[in-house]
Structures are given as C-alpha cells and as structure tokens.
Amino acid sequence: MMDLYPALVDEDRRLSGHDRKLAQIVLDDVDFAIRSTIGELAARAEVSPPTVTRFCRRIGCAGFSDFKLQLARMNYVGLRYLRPEVPTTSAAEVAEDIVAKAQNALFQLHQQLDPVVLDRAAQVLRAADFILAFGSGGNSSMISHELHNRLFRLGCRIHSSNDRSMDLMLSAAVTPGTVTVVSSMTGLDADLVRCLDLMRQQKVPTIALTQSGSPVALAADIPITIDLPEGRNIFRPTSTRYAFLAAVDILANLVAYADRQRATVFLRRIKEELVRSRDGDDRQLLGD
Amino acid sequence: MMDLYPALVDEDRRLSGHDRKLAQIVLDDVDFAIRSTIGELAARAEVSPPTVTRFCRRIGCAGFSDFKLQLARMNYVGLRYLRPEVPTTSAAEVAEDIVAKAQNALFQLHQQLDPVVLDRAAQVLRAADFILAFGSGGNSSMISHELHNRLFRLGCRIHSSNDRSMDLMLSAAVTPGTVTVVSSMTGLDADLVRCLDLMRQQKVPTIALTQSGSPVALAADIPITIDLPEGRNIFRPTSTRYAFLAAVDILANLVAYADRQRATVFLRRIKEELVRSRDGDDRQLLGD
DNA sequence: CAACACAAGAAAAATTATTACACGCAGGCT
DNA sequence: AGCCTGCGTGTAATAATTTTTCTTGTGTTG
C-alpha cells in the first residue's frame, strides 16, 4: 500500500530507460493509464507488455492491475499534484493541490502510526501530574499550542512553550510526575535533544512527535514517528503539519477516553462557560 | 464519480435479489472487493461470475474491472466516512476515525471553496501595508497564528491577536492601508462582528474565514465561508480545523504567487538563517 | 394455460496479464 | 583483449480473468 507518487516522480533516478519513459507517460495522462490495458499502455510507450509488468513491480505494485488500482486511488485524491514542475497558480489549482497534499499526508500518517505506541503515550499523559509541551518555529509551535489547547480541556495541567531558552530552563527544573511532549518536524533540534536528555536524568518520561531515526526521536522515551516526503516547493511548508495535527488529535482523544468521566466533566464545564458568555446557542464549538 | 456509493446502498430498492446481496458484500468489505477477482467475489456471494458482471453494469460501471477501479477511488476518502458511527475507543479505531474525518473535512472544503473569492482575498492581502489577523479560542487562535506564521515569511507586515479586548482596541485604531482577516468557526462571535463594523467605518477591507450566513460572514467584505457538519462527539472538537488550516494554506500560497519574486527573496533569507543557526542541513523545513 | 419477460448459470470465447526463454549490451575481471 | 556476468528487453507461450453466448428455469400476465 505504498504511495506511488514518489516512485513515479523518481527523484533519486532509480528508474532507468524505459521505466522512466513509462512513468512519464503515466504522469502525463493518469486517466489514460487507469483506463488502458497493459497492451495499450505498452504501445504508447513503445515497449512490450512484459516491460510494463516489470515496471509495475519495480515501483512497488503486485502487477499491472494492482498498479491501476493504486493509481485510481491516488488519482481520486486529486492528482493535479503530480505535476511539480508546472507551477500551479490559479486559485483552483492551488486549492486542489493543497487539499490533495494534505489528504495525502493524513493518509500516510495513518499508515505509519503504531497504535501500541499511541496507547502508551496516552497512558503516560493520562497519569501525569503536569505536562510540558515544547515545540518551536512556526509549525511545531502550533503543535505544542494545540496540545495545550486540547489537553487542558480534559483536566490536564499543562504548559506549552515555544521558547528554546525557556525550554532548557524548564527542563532543568522538572520534577517527578511531569511528562514532556516535544514536537520537531525535522528532529534535528539540538536544544530539544538537550532538553530530552535533562528529562531522562530526572526520570521524566518524554514523548516526541518527530521523524523516525532523528536525534530527537532517539532521545525520547516514546517516539511517535511521522515520516513524510519533503516538499520541493519552497512556497509551501509541507503538509506535514496536517499529519502532526492529526497525531495530536488522536493523542488527545485517547487521553480523553482513558478517563472518559473526568474528561466529560471538564468539557461540560468549559462548554457551559462558553454558552454563558455568548448568546446561548449551545451548538457552539468548544472554543470557536 | 462518487455516484457508486448511492447505487450500492440502494436506498430506493432498485436492486433485487442477488444484486442486493452483492452490494451488501461489497459494502461490508470494500477492500476484499477491490482485491478479489470476479470469481472470488461471485463465490462469496454464492452467485456465478456473469451475475457479478451484470451487477456491475447495472450500477453504472463498464464491467468488473471498471467497478473495482471506481471502488478503489471511492474507498480512499469518501466511503470510510460514510460508515455508521460506532463508538471508537481503541487507538487504531480512533486514529482511523480522526484521519477519515479530517480527510473528509478537506474534501468538503475543496468543494465549497470559491476560487474567485480566494483570488480576491489574496489580492487584497497582497496589496496591504499591514495585516491584522484576529481569532480567539483555541481553534481560531490557531488559525490567526498560522496566518501570521505564513504571511510574515512572504514579507507581509502582520500582527495576529487572540485577545478580544485587544482586537477591539486594534480595530478602533486601524488606519487606511490595513487589511484585517478574522477567523471564527461558529461565526457567532459578537466582539468580532463589532471589530468588523469598526473596520468598515474606516474603509479597511475585511476577510472572514467562517460559516456562511453567520453574523461574522455578513459583517465582512470578503467572506470565505466554510460549512461543515457539527460533530456530535464532545471529545472531538470537529475536524473543521483541518479545513480552516487548508484555507489559510491556500490563501498564503496565492499571496506568495501574487508576487513570486518578492516571496522568494524572503523565504530564501529565512531559510538561510535557519540553516546557519542549525547544523547546515539544507533539507531543513522552513521553521521546523 | 400459454406466452413472455427476466434472471441465472454453464460453457465457450475473448481479452488481458504473466511467465519462460533467448538475445543483446554494457561493465568488470582475468 | 576476451570472457563472464548482470541487467534489461522482446517474443512467444501460458495462465488468469472477464465477458459473451446460449440455455434453462421461474414468475407474471393476458
């Protein structure tokens, strides 16, 4: 169930000769590729059918039918995004592109998540007396904010910080009973690694949302790893944020379910306060 | 495209006998249907292969292969969401549910967006001397933060505020050349409406990300409306956030494309600074 | 009760994909 | 240099899958 897209664009030039030609033809006209038989596709690429089968195998499919199936899947999600070189500029194109990439990021997140790890993280969070959430630099700071936003509602005592200097001081001052969650999309934040080391010295459990194998992931007790392909478009800061956000979402839900009663109490209280302070419409969201 | 689903659920009972049985089997296990051959599916339904072919034709496909293709497409986003809601508690279930809902929110956003409005909003933003971004209460505050995070990188002068009292003061003190973006998921925030009214008095253009027809939408010059069904699960603050986030994403991209050169300059500078301050790995994201 | 419409299966046919095998070519090794 | 080896390719044979054709059975209607 691998994603075809990276294999097709073949950034690292692993495909050769006819395979590259085939990939190009498929990318140029996905609908054709989906509808055609192996013979038709082979003819368009001026190769033999077996070459097409082999091509499908090389890019990770079981065969040509499987290839078409996967292509159909991918295509539905909005395959306009298979044209990286052609800069999309119209509003409709940009919208389609971003939505497709976001959905794709969520899809890949879902593939990568390990329920066991998530459960463990949720349990640790649930048991914490106090939670620290670290994340700096736009994207990860959004994540740590969001963790705060979600967990305080469940009755968790939590502080979120986006300030690397503060993070270090907070880490130096942690006390048992604390649990720390850090977020780093690259996993290369050296300060964050230092924080995690300090935590470990104090036996404070740490959860990291980050790339697998990265320094941050290695320094954390419970790494929740999310690996997504880098975007090449510098105007677009990757759709990784959607995946991270979903990870927080899932985590917060699991924490809520771990003690449903307690969570309900707090959520009700918050909701009542919101309804009171606004015009009494109780369809209100929990915090706009 | 998506009309396979209605045909399968067969609300108006147009299918009969074996066809209904086949539809049920397919809906029960879409993955099986996608993977299996016509023979296997026929066996599971205890019918003959030709019956399956005829079934596919009746519900609007060209044949069994086409049916599988369409099914694969549908299965990616649409169908999971349409399943009856069961209380989910296991980590895997929660993850699946949240991812599906988020993808669906993005899907619906995509359908609702009006490219013309987006373009107009982007142009107004691009022309602004100064941008104010308002949004309070967890979700919308994330959105206004994100607007800041995305637009300052493009060279926009922008301030984001999550403080209703400050919003009002800022609104009272706006000067021509300013453009304001507000976010409210419910659209019921009275203070925000007041802010928008103040802006209008000063002829400051206003853009609102909110529900259509809501007071906030009505008070804004350029309402970018996003209507998503309310979730009933109080533990889950709707997946609307993903949609709003994507809207910001799209908007920021359009602003960037409106003056690509300028945007590139700023993004490069930011990137260089990031690379310098870290370990020189230039695959770094733009702001973790 | 016959005539008809319809649905279903069996078997044959057609289509489509895969495998087996042989050839050719480039790069490395003796 | 000459030879082996590995890789990619096409042809032809094979296998698989799907569709068509033909036949039978069932239920409805005049």
Here the CATH number for the domain that contains residue A14 is 1.10.10.10
Answer with the residue of higher pLDDT: B81 or B137: B137
A19 near B CB under 8 A: no
B96 falls within a domain: no
Q: Do B284 and A246 touch (CB under 8 A)?
A: no
Instruction: Answer yes or no: do B225 and B136 share one domain.
Output: yes
Q: How far apart are CA B167 and CA A12, in angstroms?
A: 49
* Protein-contacted bases of chain D (C-beta within 7 A): 8-12, 16-21
Residue type, B219: A
Predicted pLDDT of residue A83: 47
B89 falls within a domain: no
Nearest residue in A to B154, CA atom: A235
B16 falls within a domain: yes
Residue type, B213: G
Predicted pLDDT of residue B2: 47
Arithmetic mean of pLDDT, B209-233: 86
Arithmetic mean of pLDDT, A134-143: 89
Sign of CA dihedral A159, A164, A165, A167: positive
Predicted pLDDT of residue B180: 97
Of the listed ranges A191-195, A228-232, B204-208, the one predicted with least confidence? A228-232
Residue whose tokens read 């799209």: B250
CA of residue A10 to C1' of nucleotide C20, angstroms: 30
Q: Which of B49, B76, B103 is the last residue of a domain?
A: B76
CA of residue A69 to C1' of nucleotide C23, angstroms: 33
B255 near A CB under 8 A: no
Sorting pLDDT into bands at 50, 70 and 90, what band is A79? very low
Are residues A9 and A27 in contact, defined by beta-carbon separation less than 8 angstroms?
Answer: yes
Residues of A in contact with B142 (CB under 8 A): 142, 145-146, 149
Predicted pLDDT of residue B119: 92
How distant is the Cα of A205 from the closest Cα of chain B, in angstroms? 20
C-alpha distances out from residue B34 to B67, B68, B104, B265, Å: 9, 5, 21, 48
B130 falls within a domain: yes
Predicted pLDDT of residue A242: 92
A224 near B CB under 8 A: no
Arithmetic mean of pLDDT, B25-41: 85
pLDDT value at B280 more than 60: no
Rank A241-255, B82-96, B253-267 by mean pLDDT and report only the highest: A241-255
Of the listed ranges A85-99, B122-136, B158-172, B191-205, the one predicted with least confidence? A85-99
Q: Do A288 and B184 touch (CB under 8 A)?
A: yes
pLDDT value at B13 more than 50: yes
Instruction: Answer yes or no: do A178 and A260 share one domain.
Output: yes
A94 falls within a domain: no
Q: Which of B76, B103, B125 is the last residue of a domain?
A: B76
Instruction: Answer yes or no: do B183 and B52 share one domain.
Output: no
Arithmetic mean of pLDDT, A178-185: 95
pLDDT value at A11 more than 70: no
pLDDT value at A85 more than 90: no
A284 falls within a domain: no
Predicted pLDDT of residue B133: 97
Name the region of A26 (left: φ>0; alpha: ψ -120 to 50; beta: rest): alpha
Q: What percent of chain B has pLDDT over 70?
A: 79
Q: How far apart are CA B198 and CA B201, in angstroms?
A: 5
Instruction: Answer yes or no: do B165 and B38 share one domain.
Output: no
A240 near B CB under 8 A: yes
B84 falls within a domain: no
Surface of B (43-82) touching A: CB under 8 A: 65, 68-70, 72-77
Own/partner contacts of A108-113, CB < 8 Å, gap of 24 or more, are: A108/A3, A108/A228, A108/A243, A109/A226, A109/A228, A109/A242, A109/A243, A109/A246, A109/A247, A109/B99, A110/B95, A110/B96, A110/B99, A111/A1, A112/A225, A112/A226, A112/A227, A113/A224, A113/A247, A113/A250, A113/B95
Q: Inter-axis angle of helices A240-258 and A139-151, to 10 degrees?
A: 20
Q: Do B65 and A69 touch (CB under 8 A)?
A: no
Residues of B in contact with A278 (CB under 8 A): 188-190
| Domain around A162 | 112-273
Q: How far apart are CA B152 and CA A111, in angstroms?
A: 34
Instruction: Answer yes or no: do B178 and B251 share one domain.
Output: yes
Q: What percent of chain A has pLDDT over 70?
A: 81
Instruction: Answer yes or no: do B119 and B69 share one domain.
Output: no
Residues of B in contact with A149 (CB under 8 A): 138-139, 142
Q: How far apart are CA A105 and CA B144, in angstroms?
A: 22
Instruction: Answer yes or no: do B13 and B58 share one domain.
Output: yes
- Of A101, A92, A93, nearest to A3 by C-alpha is A101
Residues of A in contact with B236 (CB under 8 A): 249, 253
Q: How far apart are CA A146 and CA A132, in angstroms?
A: 12
B120 falls within a domain: yes
Predicted pLDDT of residue A231: 55
pLDDT value at B282 more than 60: no
| Token pair listed for B136 | 């309070």
- Of B239, B206, B222, B221, nearest to B113 by C-alpha is B222
B168 near A CB under 8 A: no
pLDDT value at A59 more than 80: yes
Sorting pLDDT into bands at 50, 70 and 90, what band is B233? low
Instruction: Provide the number of structural domains found in chain B.
Output: 2
Q: How far apart are CA A187 and CA A255, in angstroms?
A: 24
Question: Which segments of chain B are extended strands (E)?
Answer: 130-134, 158-161, 178-184, 206-210, 222-225
Taking only the tens place, the pLDDT of each residue in A20-50 is 888 888 888 888 888 889 988 888 888 888 8
CA of residue A195 to C1' of nucleotide C24, angstroms: 61
Predicted pLDDT of residue A173: 93
How distant is the Cα of B211 from the closest Cα of chain A, in angstroms? 11
Are residues B258 and B279 in contact, defined by beta-carbon separation less than 8 angstroms?
Answer: no
Nearest residue in B to A249, CA atom: B98
Name the region of A281 (left: φ>0; alpha: ψ -120 to 50; beta: rest): beta
Q: What's the CATH number where A167 sits?
A: 3.40.50.10490
Q: Do B77 and A75 touch (CB under 8 A)?
A: no
Instruction: Answer yes or no: do A69 and A206 share one domain.
Output: no
Q: How far apart are CA A79 and CA A77, in angstroms?
A: 6
Q: Do B245 and A246 touch (CB under 8 A)?
A: no
Q: How far apart are CA B161 and CA B134, in angstroms?
A: 5
Residue whose tokens read 């290695």: A218
Interface size A-B, in CB pairs within 8 Å, comes to 222
Q: Which residue in the set B89, B98, B253 is minimally distant from A249, CB to CB?
A: B98
Predicted pLDDT of residue A7: 74
Complete DSSP assignment for B33-65: HHHS-HHHHHHHHTS-HHHHHHHHHHTT-SSHH
Arithmetic mean of pLDDT, A252-260: 83
Instruction: Answer yes or no: do A48 and A129 share one domain.
Output: no
Name the region of B179 (left: φ>0; alpha: ψ -120 to 50; beta: rest): beta
- Of A240, A248, A177, A188, nearest to A219 by C-alpha is A188
Q: Do B257 and A235 touch (CB under 8 A)?
A: yes
Q: Do B284 and A186 touch (CB under 8 A)?
A: yes
Sorting pLDDT into bands at 50, 70 and 90, what band is B278? low
Q: For residue B101, report the phi and psi dihedrals to the nearest 5 degrees.
A: -65, -40
Instruction: Answer yes or no: do B143 and B66 share one domain.
Output: no
Q: Do A115 and B95 touch (CB under 8 A)?
A: yes
Q: How far apart are CA A27 and CA B60, in angstroms?
A: 27
Nearest residue in A to B279, CA atom: A188
Q: Which residue in the set A96, A184, A285 is minimally distant from B139, CB to CB?
A: A285
Average pLDDT over all residues of chain B: 82
Q: Which of A26, A57, A76 is the last residue of a domain?
A: A76
Sorting pLDDT into bands at 50, 70 and 90, what band is A123? very high
Taking only the tens place, the pLDDT of each residue in B50-102 is 888 888 888 888 889 888 888 887 765 544 544 545 556 788 888 888 888 88
Of the listed ranges A183-187, B44-48, B231-235, the one predicted with least confidence? B231-235
Predicted pLDDT of residue B273: 65
* Mutation site for A-interface testing, chosen from B235, B275, B278, B281 by largest number of A Cβ within 10 Å: B235
Instruction: Answer yes or no: do B45 and B128 share one domain.
Output: no
Instruction: Answer yes or no: do B32 and B118 share one domain.
Output: no
C-alpha distances out from residue A92 to A99, A275, B110, B113, B251, Å: 11, 37, 9, 8, 11
Are residues A88 and A97 in contact, defined by beta-carbon separation less than 8 angstroms?
Answer: yes
Interface residues for strand D (CB within 7 Å) are A 16-19, 46-51, 54; B 37-39, 49-50, 53, 56, 62-66, 68
Of the listed ranges A174-188, B57-71, B273-287, the one predicted with least confidence? B273-287
